[in-house]
Amino acid sequence: MRGRLQVPGVLRRLVPGSLAPQSQRLPTVGADTPVAPVLDEPLEACRNCGHLLGLPRPNFCSACGQETALHPPTVMEFIHQFGGNYVAMEGALWRTLLLLLFLPGRLTREYLRGRKRRYVLPLRLYLTISVVTLLSLQWSGVLHAIRDEEIVKVDQEDTKDFTLVGAGGIKAGMENGKFICEGLPASWCERLKERFTMDPTSMNRELKRVPERFVSHWGQAMFGLLPLYAFFLKLVYLNRRMRWSEHLVFALHLHSFWFVMLGLQLFSVPFFKTAVLFAVPIYSLIAIQVVYGGRWWATALRAMTLCMLYGMTLVFAMAIVAVWAFIA
């Protein structure tokens, strides 16, 4: 007797025109060989994309990757999301910091060679280190100490001749009792004029707030200067024919190291302060040599050119941020 292959119940409902009843007996392959019954359950769909999951239900959707076993979020999940996605507290962080701090330029070369999964991405690394450093600077009490020392203090006589900023082509202050404002938008000059016409007590109160405001705005300014630093790199290394985005990767890594060195200044250890003075220029020069190659004398010349271009930009940016910190 020739056996007859029957279509399981789940597939029968998906095949148009099937006339087989739902309550049919167990399907058989041979006359006396029964097979396991097919569960007659509805196919579950992914809550995210609607893709049919199939039976047995997998742990993750094959279309979008979302988990299929959903449950209300727990506190630990929120901590993991904050640590893993925002602050980048993952296993790759420690490998990344090892290369960043002790092997100049190696992290950039690893990324440009396509080894990305092993390390924290450049932008995430920069944001993590810069945010942690600037928050530590604000919470460490250093800014309060600067404010309490009253490094800048004016009295009635000083209001006649006082310079708030005079660098980067920007000049703002009082000369012989007359307000001057050069290199700034007219709206900024108007707001500065209102500040300088204050009485000495009110002006001192505003000046005490400048350091904290400067630090809070400086993080945004540095983030905006990163693309410009990458552009300067492209100018001094035109013969490498690298894309601007590749230079930006190196800029992110190098600035991350600089922020780490800035964080070390918060410790009242003379060794750290001395080590940073030597570490920053030496590290930067070695990193440029490792990433871009070439002869050392050529690397030194290009590094000096880059330092001058970026140094002038930093002076101008600091002047702008100082003025904004006073009028904001």
Task: List, in order, residues 6 or more apart from 227 with CB less than 8 Å away.
Answer: 248, 251
10 pLDDT above the threshold of 60: no
Residue 87 domain flag? no
30 pLDDT above the threshold of 80: no
- Of the candidates 131, 133, 111, 134, the one whose C-alpha atom is nearest the C-alpha of residue 121 is 111
Q: What is the pLDDT of residue 271?
A: 78
146 pLDDT above the threshold of 70: no
Greatest mean pLDDT range, 110-114, 189-193, 206-210, 248-252: 248-252
Q: What is the pLDDT of residues 312-323, one digit of tens each?
A: 999 999 888 888
Average pLDDT score over the chain: 78
239 pLDDT above the threshold of 50: yes
- State the Cα–Cα distance between residues 78 and 132, nearest whole angstrom: 19
Residue 178 domain flag? yes
Residue 180 domain flag? yes
Q: What is the pLDDT of residue 246?
A: 93
Q: What is the pLDDT of residue 77?
A: 65
| More confident call, 325 vs 107 | 107
Beta bridge partners of 170: 167
Helices (H), ranges, the chain: 9-14, 75-81, 91-102, 106-112, 122-139, 142-149, 186-196, 200-208, 210-236, 244-264, 270-292, 296-327
User: 202 lies in which domain range?
Assistant: 92-328
Residue 288 domain flag? yes
Residue 203 domain flag? yes
- State the Cα–Cα distance between residues 280 and 140, nearest whole angstrom: 22
120 pLDDT above the threshold of 50: yes
Strands, sheet with 170-175, edge to edge from the N-terminal-most edge strand: 162-167, 170-175, 178-182
- Count structural domains, the chain: 1
Residue 23 domain flag? no
| More confident call, 165 vs 185 | 185
Residue 73 domain flag? no
DSSP per position, 71-123: ----HHHHHHHIIIIIS--SHHHHHHHHHHHHSTTHHHHHHHTT--TTS--HH
Q: What is the pLDDT of residues 55-104, one digit of tens each?
A: 888 888 888 888 887 766 676 666 665 555 544 445 678 889 999 999 99
Residue 45 domain flag? no
Please report which confidence band the pLDDT of residue 287 belongs to, taking 50, 70 and 90 as the band edges: very high
Q: What is the pLDDT of residue 15?
A: 46
